[in-house]
Amino acid sequence: MRLVALLVLCAGCAVAFAGCGSDAGAAPVPVAAGAASASGANVLHGVYSRLNGARDDIGHYRGRVVLVVNTATECGFTPQFDGLEKLYRKYKGKGLVLLGFPANDFAGQEPRSNKDIATFCKNNYGVSFPMFAKTHVVGAHKNPLYTRLTAAAGAPEWNFNKYLLDRRGRVVARYTQNTEPLDPGLVGRIKKLL
Q: Angle CA(27)–CA(94)–CA(165) in degrees, nearest 5?
A: 40
pLDDT at residue 29 in the model: 75
Distance CA 167, CA 83 (A): 22
Residue-wise over 11-22: b if at least 16 C-beta within 10 A, else e? bbbebeeeebee
- Confirm whether pTM is higher than 0.75: yes
What is the reported pLDDT for 27? 72
Count the Cβ atoms, other than its own, within 10 Å of residue 126. 12
Please give the distance of CA 27 from its chain centroid, rounded to a whole number: 16
Low-confidence residues of the chain, pLDDT below 50?
Answer: 1-24, 33-39
Domains of the chain (ranges; CATH) run 3-12+27-101+116-193 (3.40.30.10)
| pLDDT at residue 12, as a whole number | 35
The SS3 of residue 192 is: helix
Query: In 3-state terms, what secondary structure has residue 102?
Result: strand
Q: Which of 10, 13, 20, 75 is catalytic?
A: 75
| pLDDT value of position 176 | 96
> Is 75 an active-site residue?
yes
